[in-house]
Structure 1
Amino acid sequence: MKLIPTQLPEVLRIEPKVFGDSRGFFMESWNRTTFASIGLNVDFVQDNHSCSGKGVLRGLHYQLRQPQGKLVRVTSGAVYDVAVDLRRSSPNFGKWTGHELNAENKHMLWVPPGFAHGFLVLSESADFLYKTTDYYAPEHEHSVLWNDPAIGIRWPLEAEPALSAKDKAGSLLKDAQIYP
């Protein structure tokens, strides 16, 4: 397993060992001991799976109470995955990092608590899996606008994205409730 630093030091791209042959492939996507040995000593309490069509943008989501660390990956299709630092005390506050995750490269991204997270589906559809370090708590969930000019995410858009009502109503960073 290989850790690749991103522009935000706490957000890590993970390249698992993939063993492939004419029958297909095998990879270990989570092993507590292996992850602890590379510095990610985390406990996961919930697994989530979403399937979305091309052009769907989900995010930028975060929970102030019960903040979630997320280990994310794609098992079918491709997405552009984004994390934004929402910790006011961080030297990287308001900065973002984006990475393509797809079924072919099998890369994963570790998004720690204190970051907003979102993704845009690039393929006809995508199956997106994520393990979280705390439970989903809708009463504590917030959303920052995906296109906030103060953040300036360069989404690889071909057209206007398909958004949920919740994501359309997200806050600008300057008005958002954020981490200390």
Structure 2
Amino acid sequence: MCPILSREHYFLQVINELNQHSVESGSLEERLRDMLLELAESVRDGKRLGMDTLHRLNKLFEQYQAIRLKVSLVPRAASLFAGETDEHTSDTGEEGQQLLLHSEFLDGPDQLRRKYMESIISLLEAMEKSTLALQTCVQCDRWFIPYRRAQVTKFCGSACRNRYHYERTKMGSRRLI
């Protein structure tokens, strides 16, 4: 996808806040939320996206035209090497200018449909860039991306890991009494 339309890993923040949002049954926001969860769960479970999912995702994109695109010219960054010129700009006579593609969302950042759409796009961009691994924490049920070098990751951080082991040890000591 070009240009980048969302913040990197924004979908994690939105997914972890889903229980704080209230949406009407049958609304566009509910369908966007469900699609976000379906995409995240398919990544977590290592499943491929089916044609049905892609069809429903494209229908959502058709229903909610969330993005406005705009093109502008900006000054080209000066070259680090003396005497270096770009052969494309000298031919066109537009020396010192570069084309820039802007993307912006139509709705305000506080609207749920924008949050869900931006998080879906963020997740799709992450899936497009590389193989993405998503997990849910055993202790707190929050979604997270495990460290690449980690062989087995069950916890989103050391606080959850420590809390899990503390509770497990505490429950074991109660059984002995």
TM-score higher than 0.5 here? no
Looking at secondary structure, tell me which structure has more strand per residue.
Answer: 1
Looking at secondary structure, tell me which structure has more helix per residue.
Answer: 2
Question: TM-score, normalised on structure 2?
Answer: 0.24
Question: TM-score, normalised on structure 1?
Answer: 0.23
